Amino acid sequence: MSRYLTAQYLTGMKARIIGAFLVAALLHLIGTILIPGYSAPFAIRALLVIAALLAVASVGQTLVVILGGIDLSIPFIIGFANVTAAQLYGQGWHFGLVCIVVFGLAILIGALNGALSRGLNIHPLIVTMGIGMIVQGLVLIWTKGFPTGSAPKAVSSFVSIGGSFGPLPVPALIPALLVMTIVIVLVLERTPWGRRLYALGSNPGAAPYALISPLWVWTSTFAASAFFAALAGILLLGFTGSAYGDVGQPYLFQTIAAVVVGGAALVGGRGSYIGTLAGVLVLTEINTLLIGLNFSPASVQAAFGAIILLLVSLYGRERHFRTTV
């Protein structure tokens, strides 16, 4: 019976992922019909870069949701990494050292999120929001509200819409994302850590009997989430060319929506990064389509927010896998 239900869940998840990719394709077709130049080469490259940035930011949310948590510190860590990297590089630091410092601090922040959530048995929504606001406040104090600095040319070229990677007419960010996707999928499906992540998300009560340390898995998972948020912040620095503390705010609900639309269950135990990529494409197509139809910025924000709420409400209301076994 258990194997039958597991097969049912896997089949349903695959169907949802395929459905999300089909929705993205349909949205693109609609945009191509309604908006001149929607499928022009430059427009395609722009869409891929914007989607790739969201995909990087959504890695950590994918891992945390599979675990059965949620990470609201992602936009704050994106802003922290964006501003810190720009400030330190502007002060003459070598960018390699800048990255080590930024990633190291981000991992510590994420590990604190996971350790507090699990160790003190506090819902991660509260912990991550609180820690995120503390981080944002410290950054504002440090920069006095006026961050300075920029990204090195190598980072800007890496994410430039007009860039290319060898014979490929896309910036290096796109093939790098494909490689990263393969690595993440292999880690989730073929490593002990990935199996423990799914096991703990599926049945946290039984996981300790399988010699799984909940505290370690939670700490490492939130640390990984913060690492990828910091990576997104540095990439966004190269994309925009200047530091901005609130650059991560649009990713607060977009990462959650992308994960859920891609087949993950907010109650934990189910999800995949391939599904998240499908959700990312759906959200990026929606946003691009609304802008292309000349919606005002305020209207785009309102409509996009309403669509995200609708998608999450439709896809996120599921019983936990363990309640069906």
Q: What pLDDT was estimated at residue 318?
A: 53
Classified as helix, coil or strand, 168 is strand
Q: What pLDDT was estimated at residue 163?
A: 83
What values do phi and psi take at 69, rounded to 5? Answer: -115, -165
Domains along the chain with CATH numbers? 2-324 (1.10.3470)
Q: What pLDDT was estimated at residue 324?
A: 45
Q: What is the C-alpha separation between 247 and 49, in angstroms, rounded?
A: 16
Q: What is the C-alpha separation between 239 and 294, in angstroms, rounded?
A: 23
Q: What is the C-alpha separation between 47 and 292, in angstroms, rounded?
A: 12
Give the H/E segment covering residue 69.
none
List the chain pLDDT tens, one digit each, 325 residues.
344 445 555 566 677 888 889 989 999 999 999 999 999 999 999 999 999 999 999 999 999 999 999 999 999 999 999 999 999 999 999 999 999 999 999 999 999 999 999 999 999 999 999 999 999 999 999 988 888 888 899 999 999 998 888 888 899 999 999 999 999 999 999 999 999 999 898 888 777 777 788 999 999 999 999 999 999 999 999 999 888 888 999 898 899 989 988 888 888 888 899 999 999 999 999 989 988 888 888 887 787 778 767 766 665 555 544 444 4
Full-model pTM: 0.91
Q: What is the C-alpha separation between 22 and 282, in angstroms, rounded?
A: 9
Q: What pLDDT was estimated at residue 2?
A: 41
